[in-house]
Chain A
């Protein structure tokens, strides 16, 4: 119940493509769903986040789609660039403020 399942494990797209990363959860008590971006040698950094009362949130080229009934959410990166190459983590927050992370997706955007 405390897991967040993320797929795919890795993803390669051409510049300008729209990579999509998916996450699924079981615990309906989760109340906040962030996405973090991590570059090699750096810590994760918040990219965008959504709460379960909203079905979509867009910030720049990054969009979260949230399906509460299916307990799934996804990250879309529009017009992807080589600089977007990084590892992306979805997460969900439980009742103690604890963030539970997905397994991560390594994205490579080819020029």
Chain B
């Protein structure tokens, strides 16, 4: 029933590790996004994919690599985790690039020890 689902909900790991966050949407949308929300709740887009094609790639370190195996999935892989990567990561989707609204998942809280 969940429209945009992310796993895991919580991720606690050591600095230097590599981790992945998975996202799936069952809305039939063409466009998916990754956002980062910092400790001050500021929400900033990282990537967007439209029909599995990368559209937006903000100035995100190349340790972050999104992968879209199909339109319904957009995963985020992070290499060599750093303390500053601690945040809540949200996946979202919209019908297409020009069409809003964006539907958000409930987030993955990433904590780096």
- The tally of residues in A whose CB lies under 8 Å from a CB in B reads 22
Q: Mark A21-52, 1 if CB is under 8 A from B, else 0.
A: 00000000000101000100111111001000
A66-111: which have CB < 8 Å to B?
Answer: 87, 89, 93, 96-101, 103-104, 106
Interface size range of chain B in the complex: 20 to 34
The answer to whether A43 and B41 touch across the interface, beta carbons within 8 angstroms, is no
Q: Which chain B residues border A93 with CB–CB below 8 Å?
A: 100
Q: Known contacts A96-B55, A101-B43, A104-B42; is A43 also within 8 Å of B101 by CB?
A: no
* Whole-angstrom distance between the Cβ of A105 and the nearest chain B Cβ: 10
A interface, over-half SS: strand
Q: Which chain A residues border B105 with CB–CB below 8 Å?
A: 43
A interface, CB within 8 angstroms of B: 32, 34, 38, 41-46, 49, 87, 89, 93, 96-101, 103-104, 106
Which of B42, B94, B98 lies in contact with A103, CB distance below 8 A? Answer: B42
The answer to whether B90 and A44 touch across the interface, beta carbons within 8 angstroms, is yes
Bound-state CA distance A96–B50 (Å) is 11
Bound-state CA distance A45–B43 (Å) is 13
- Determine the residue in chain A with the shortest Cβ distance to B104: A43
The answer to whether B31 and A104 touch across the interface, beta carbons within 8 angstroms, is no
Bound-state CA distance A89–B41 (Å) is 10
Q: Known contacts A42-B106, A46-B102, A49-B101; is A98 also within 8 Å of B48 by CB?
A: yes
